[in-house]
Structure 1
Amino acid sequence: MAASILSTRPVTITSPKSESMDGELACTVLRLMSIAADMQTSCEPLEIAFLTYLTNFSKAFIGTPVLRTSKLFSLLAESLNLPDQLTVLDAFVNKILKNLKVFFNNKTIIKETLKTFTELSMGYSFGHMLVKLDTIQYLLRNHAESLEFFSFPQRLNLRTDYYSALSRILSTYIDCEAENDMLEYFMLTFDRAFQNLCSIFQPRDYSLLKNDNSVKSTVIEVARSLTGLLVVTENKEMFMCYFDYIFPHYTNVLQEAMNIWMDDVDVTFPILKFFGELVSNRKPRIEFEVTSVNGILLFRQLSQIISGFVAFLLSSQFSNDSSQESQKNRYRGVLYSINILVHTLGAKFVNFGAFKLYGDEALDKVLNVFYQVISTFQLDWILSFNKLAKAYYSLVEVLAADHIYYLATLDSNAFHYFINSISEGFALMGRSSSNDELAVKCCHALDSLISHAVKCLKKKTNQVDTGLILAIESCKELLVQMLKVMLNAVIFEECKIYWSLSRPMLAIIILNKKYFDEAKNYVIEQQSNERQPMFHKLFDELMNGLDGSLSQRNRNQFNKNINSFRRDVTNFTKTAPPEEEGAIIGESDSIMIF
């Protein structure tokens, strides 16, 4: 109840009376919390209520102007010797740490405690106050000490949340201190763990290691902990500090662990999630010196890990198991692998030309993983999982943008699968915002692919470019179908991605106007005889001002034409007699119906 009062309290409105009430309420709750702590018993609802109150109190009173809360803290000072925001925050942190030690066997309390810790670690004012506390500074130096909840295998995933909160605090601490050795102290625990693993992995019978649960648990723990550090790190300088510790010493050990426990998803999945986070170059946060080879070396290592794991994932040993748990693991394995492919193949820290120049097969191995996936899994299966569909279309977008020459080398079936998957992505458009997001990725991929083909037609092409053009021409029916779907969205649907749609539409028109004429005629034929002349006129106006190129000026002009075209069609159809409204959309063709 006290927490609910705080959650509904206006932040900017206060008075001496309300401050006194807030202070008395806080004193009562904190006294009760102290009594409960002395009893050393676990009352789950009460502990969760305490944590909710701490969170709401922090949001309402910690980091706010002192004058506005002076009466409240005066009462806390008189009753509990908590005179200011810093001492109250220190009491909250001590409560969190005590929960982690005392209630280590209660997953619900531990989970809620970590949630509260995460809330406190977020935000500028909280972070700068936390790093002033001796308790926090001790915790950063001894973050793995006496935390028994780590010892429960079923709660290993909570390590990621714990280290995510610590990573935020550590980053703030390093920003505040010009010169400090806190990062070195913080990473010392990981250094020792990996040195121990490295000595264990020295030439030894792997069959014995596979059954060593202690070593296995250590691998899982460090993988999840490192993932927690990286997942919240967006500052480039901080990320590169972590990277210098992690690569190559830590990654070599984790690669060895992948080889040992390849058939154990409890080990491989946390390691794959770690590598996926390590190569995620958002913001961007990964930046190597001009003379650094780290990008190439990291990519080569990931090439070995992913190609080996996917080969096992698709092997009969794994795929023949039809149990629900096995199929779930198969889905997760494909998802994690594709996410890593997206991050690595779309990375801006690797010069992929170096691999071909020096005959290195690392890039070919990674690209072959995509071929293995589309050769094994039906598109319907991929689209049945939202996360997997998003990852797959992100990969399609990256391949079309940065590895188009690889697409030109695909066999006809694989290339048709690639183009058909883009077509299916367009067919999902308009059903939900997430499906529109997939359609935008399809727009980018198709635009990159067709725009490259247009450029090839306007210059002397090599054998690879000729192969790409022929492959695209072999998918004529799919291209026309996609144009029909895009035109239908522009004319008849409440579509929010007109700008994205206009780019591949123009590229296809420039590539071969016959494709557009066929799609246009189809739409016109769906109209009544009285409407057809006007639709002919509107389609002709759609091409006004275009010069037959893919210049930015031409693209902008086509986008303007699309907007005018949609407006004119809407105004025209509003004047149609009611009995003719049903003739607007051709109900006989499935691609026109959503």
Structure 2
Amino acid sequence: IADEEQLLSIFVKKLFTNLQYSIVTDKLIERTVGCFSDLTHGYQSVRKLVKLDPIQYFINNHTQDLFPFLHPTSTMNHSHNSNLSLSSWSRLRTTFYSSVGRMLMYEFHYDDDDDERIEAFMTPFTNHCTRLVQIFKEFPDFSLLNPGQFSAMTQFNPKLASLDEIQSLIIGISRDLRGLCSSLVSKQAYTSFFDWLYPSYLPLFLKALYVFYDRKDVYNPLLKFFYELTSNRQERLIFDSTKPSAYLLFRETSNLLYIFQTKTLLHVNTTIPESDGDLFYKSKLKPIITSLKILQTCLM
């Protein structure tokens, strides 16, 4: 081994090998993602990492084909011998993309090439969201509905995928984007991300909440994603005065909270007993806390 860079490259290759071929070993995946996250904390560490060829290849090829644990169904099919819950397993995706986002931030040069760089990086997410757009194609846009039309909406019967498959897609993309968004702490990076997200894909999450209002495994990560999206980390939510982005984000967030109040809370209040402490917390108290945090960020 000639120098520190070569040693670090070997170490990173080993981490990626674990993520590529150890899908059945949940504990190894958990420790590998944790180690990768630790490596990406600190400017000097990230500066060294992004120079490595394996990292550059990874930034441009972070697909579920390369890393099977990112596949939407992997959350449902993880090892039964693991001590990890389904929630903990899918939460690894948030940690993973938070680490990736820190490296992507270092790649920002604050020039015209940044938009192209973000667009290329977001390609796997674009593919997933485009599929969801097709699935929800017949579902109306909530911004066009009045309260009467909203309450009269019929049950969603998808033709292109099962509800369980759609649920896995929504959980995965919510956790992935939440992790990525948490690392985009500059105004330019966040704006590029928001321009990608809205108007093409953000309404999907409102539709998903309406359909899966009674599934805590869906609405909890979805609400947490919106909390991250509305968090003003390092004053990143300073939009160009010529763009209505702040208003649009507030409108979509308000619609989300309205659906949560009129659908999810109504369902939970009538079906989940307080005597079932753990279920009551995860189904009602936890999302209410997240919703209040969203309100706080919107009003600050």
Tell me, yes or no, if the aligned pair for 1:194 and 1:250 is still in contact at 8 Å.
yes
**Partner-residue secondary structure (3-state), 2:122:** helix
**Shift of the alpha carbon at 1:326?**
3.2
Tell me, yes or no, if the aligned pair for 2:135 and 2:158 is still in contact at 8 Å.
no
Tell me, yes or no, if the aligned pair for 1:276 and 1:340 is still in contact at 8 Å.
yes
Q: 2:131 aligns with which of 175, 185, 196?
A: 196
Supply the distance in 2 between the matched residues of 1:177 and 1:114 (Cα, whole angstroms).
Answer: 31
**Could you give the per-residue CA deviations for residues 451-484 of structure 1, whole angstroms, max 9, x where no partner exists?**
xxxxxxxxxxxxxxxxxxxxxxxxxxxxxxxxxx
Matches within 5 A, 1:238-387: 238-315=189-266, 318-322=269-273, 323-328=276-281, 329-346=283-300
Matches within 5 A, 1:112-127: 112-127=31-46
The equivalent of 1:143 in structure 2 is 62
**Could you give the per-residue CA deviations for residues 526-547 of structure 1, whole angstroms, max 9, x where no partner exists?**
xxxxxxxxxxxxxxxxxxxxxx
Supply the distance in 2 between the matched residues of 1:107 and 1:96 (Cα, whole angstroms).
Answer: 14
Tell me, yes or no, if the aligned pair for 2:75 and 2:168 is still in contact at 8 Å.
no
Tell me, yes or no, if the aligned pair for 2:110 and 2:188 is still in contact at 8 Å.
no
Supply the distance in 2 between the matched residues of 1:222 and 1:316 (Cα, whole angstroms).
Answer: 25
Letter of the structure 1 residue corresponding to residue 99 of structure 2: A
For the pair 1:152 / 2:75, whether they are aligned, the reply is yes
Tell me, yes or no, if the aligned pair for 1:141 and 1:182 is still in contact at 8 Å.
no
Percent identity, please. 29
Letter of the structure 2 residue corresponding to residue 203 of structure 1: E
**Shift of the alpha carbon at 1:179?**
4.1
**Shift of the alpha carbon at 1:291?**
2.1
Query: Structure 2 vs 1, CA of residues 273 and 119 (structure 1 numbering), >3 Å: closer, same or farther?
Result: same
Letter of the structure 1 residue corresponding to residue 284 of structure 2: R
Which sections of structure 1, spanning at least 5 residues, go unmatched? 1-81, 347-594
Tell me, yes or no, if the aligned pair for 2:268 and 2:284 is still in contact at 8 Å.
no
**Shift of the alpha carbon at 1:172?**
0.8
Pairwise CA RMSD: 2.1
Supply the distance in 1 between the matched residues of 2:53 and 2:156 (Cα, whole angstroms).
Answer: 44
**Shift of the alpha carbon at 1:237?**
1.8
Which sections of structure 2, spanning at least 5 residues, go unmatched? 77-85, 140-154
Runs of 4+ in 1 over 6 A off after TM superposition: none
The equivalent of 2:24 in structure 1 is 105
Supply the distance in 2 between the matched residues of 1:157 and 1:317 (Cα, whole angstroms).
Answer: 23
**Could you give the per-residue CA deviations for residues 481-520 of structure 1, whole angstroms, max 9, x where no partner exists?**
xxxxxxxxxxxxxxxxxxxxxxxxxxxxxxxxxxxxxxxx
Supply the distance in 2 between the matched residues of 1:320 and 1:201 (Cα, whole angstroms).
Answer: 27
Letter of the structure 1 residue corresponding to residue 248 of structure 2: L
Supply the distance in 2 between the matched residues of 1:264 and 1:316 (Cα, whole angstroms).
Answer: 10
**Shift of the alpha carbon at 1:292?**
1.6
Query: Structure 2 vs 1, CA of residues 345 and 147 (structure 1 numbering), >3 Å: closer, same or farther?
Result: same
Letter of the structure 2 residue corresponding to residue 188 of structure 1: T
**Shift of the alpha carbon at 1:90?**
0.8
Tell me, yes or no, if the aligned pair for 1:279 and 1:343 is still in contact at 8 Å.
yes
**Shift of the alpha carbon at 1:319?**
4.0
**Shift of the alpha carbon at 1:208?**
4.3
Higher helix share: 1
Letter of the structure 1 residue corresponding to residue 197 of structure 2: I
**Partner-residue secondary structure (3-state), 1:206:** coil
Supply the distance in 2 between the matched residues of 1:178 and 1:84 (Cα, whole angstroms).
Answer: 35
**Shift of the alpha carbon at 1:178?**
8.2
The TM-score normalised by the length of structure 1 is: 0.43
Tell me, yes or no, if the aligned pair for 1:160 and 1:228 is still in contact at 8 Å.
yes
State the aligned residue count. 265
The TM-score normalised by the length of structure 2 is: 0.82
**Shift of the alpha carbon at 1:320?**
4.0
**Shift of the alpha carbon at 1:335?**
0.7
Greater shift in the superposed pair: 311-320 or 250-259: 311-320
**Shift of the alpha carbon at 1:213?**
1.7
The equivalent of 1:37 in structure 2 is none
Supply the distance in 2 between the matched residues of 1:130 and 1:317 (Cα, whole angstroms).
Answer: 46
**Partner-residue secondary structure (3-state), 1:184:** helix
Q: Which has the larger radius of gyration?
A: 1
**Could you give the per-residue CA deviations for residues 304-340 of structure 1, whole angstroms, max 9, x where no partner exists?**
1102202334326544421334311211111111011
Supply the distance in 1 between the matched residues of 2:248 and 2:21 (Cα, whole angstroms).
Answer: 44
Letter of the structure 2 residue corresponding to residue 84 of structure 1: D
Letter of the structure 2 residue corresponding to residue 132 of structure 1: K
Tell me, yes or no, if the aligned pair for 1:312 and 1:318 is still in contact at 8 Å.
no
Query: Structure 2 vs 1, CA of residues 317 and 123 (structure 1 numbering), >3 Å: closer, same or farther?
Result: closer
Supply the distance in 2 between the matched residues of 1:103 and 1:337 (Cα, whole angstroms).
Answer: 36
For the pair 1:162 / 2:108, whether they are aligned, the reply is no
